[in-house]
Structure 1
Amino acid sequence: MKSIILASQSPRRKQLLEWAEVPFEVVTQSTDETYPAGMALPEIPVHIAREKALAVKKMVQHAFHAQHAKETILAADTLVMLGDKVIGKPKDRDDAVAILTELAGNTHLVITGVVILHAGGEIAFQDTTEVSFHPLTQEQIEYYVDTYQPYDKAGAYAIQEWIGVTGIARINGDFYNVMGLPVSRVVQALEQLGGE
């Protein structure tokens, strides 16, 4: 498999690509993570991932000119939804505690949008996983937030950390999608590109 550009600073996405033995280098460019009013919620992470990928493509082409015009660029964005409410990254400790209090005892959706830009165009898809938390005590929530400080995570938690191991009752869908990348679908798409 050819090396790709990962347009993400997420340590979880890097780790998942390493586990899948996908060769990559990280190149990021800050982007606006807003989205058009009225956009259907499941389309939002694909839209944001596309903006990330296009920003990196533009930067790479400008910096390295034509020699990198055919680079494959992978970007992703993860969204947490409880009912019709989008839950982003917590602003601070109080916000993280409030988010987890809301998620406790409930089922929410984790939607990751993926965009792969390649010489022939674009592959875009989203993957959805249902996650159900056990009821959690205030003590458990505060322990997790104070110990793990999940301020860079949509939904204020990481499934592979203590709260996921002890607090999640069940999931329906791809576990790795909740970590931030439906890596098996990504690998299938990259292998398909390699065969073209």
Structure 2
Amino acid sequence: MKKIIVVSIIIAIMLSACSNTIKPIKVKETEFDLSEAEIILKKAWKPVNEITNSKFETRPNIPIKSSNEFFNIYDFSYMEEQRLRVHIFEVIVDLDNNGKVVTDNNGNLVFGEGNIINYIPTIYDKGVSIKRAYIKETKYKEEYSSLDKIELVIEEESNSKIIDIASEFHRKNYFRRNEHGEWILYDIEGTTAIGWER
């Protein structure tokens, strides 16, 4: 098993251009219970764990015709819909040189059929643990109060028990509550996936 590349990203919420120069007046961090953080993290990453096999391949083991079918089968409801879910899908599906999904002779999507396969580590995996969890409250001046936010940040790291190809794994997970009070993963920073050669 040969590691090829670690795909790392920062998916950032894009604010208005002027907000780039606006500084918060207060940032407060409060430690969050690690056991509760693990439950929240597992809800968000459960569908990825479901499509990751014992060979460290993150790919569905059933025929999939489209992205809509993929998301109907696997429950990504605890992950932000517009960007993050799409990013995860595009990491594991094969794309051609024009960025279009590759299909086989039966019209099914192709997931890592070549020499390179992607593995997305999650909290379910041996060797992945939570380093820290905290509530981050960011406040701005009253005229910019629309930028105020409360986030749950969960930091993951690898330890000596993780598979060699993922030895440098690290990820920050950013959650916000939805209208039902549920924590939804809307941003990640760090390792998304690890590509390795069969």
TM-score range, shorter chain: under 0.3
Per the normalisation by structure 2, the TM-score is 0.27
Q: Which has the higher contact order (CA 8 A, sep 6+)?
A: 2
Larger radius of gyration: 2
Q: Normalized per residue, which structure has more helix?
A: 1
Per the normalisation by structure 1, the TM-score is 0.27
Q: Normalized per residue, which structure has more strand?
A: 2
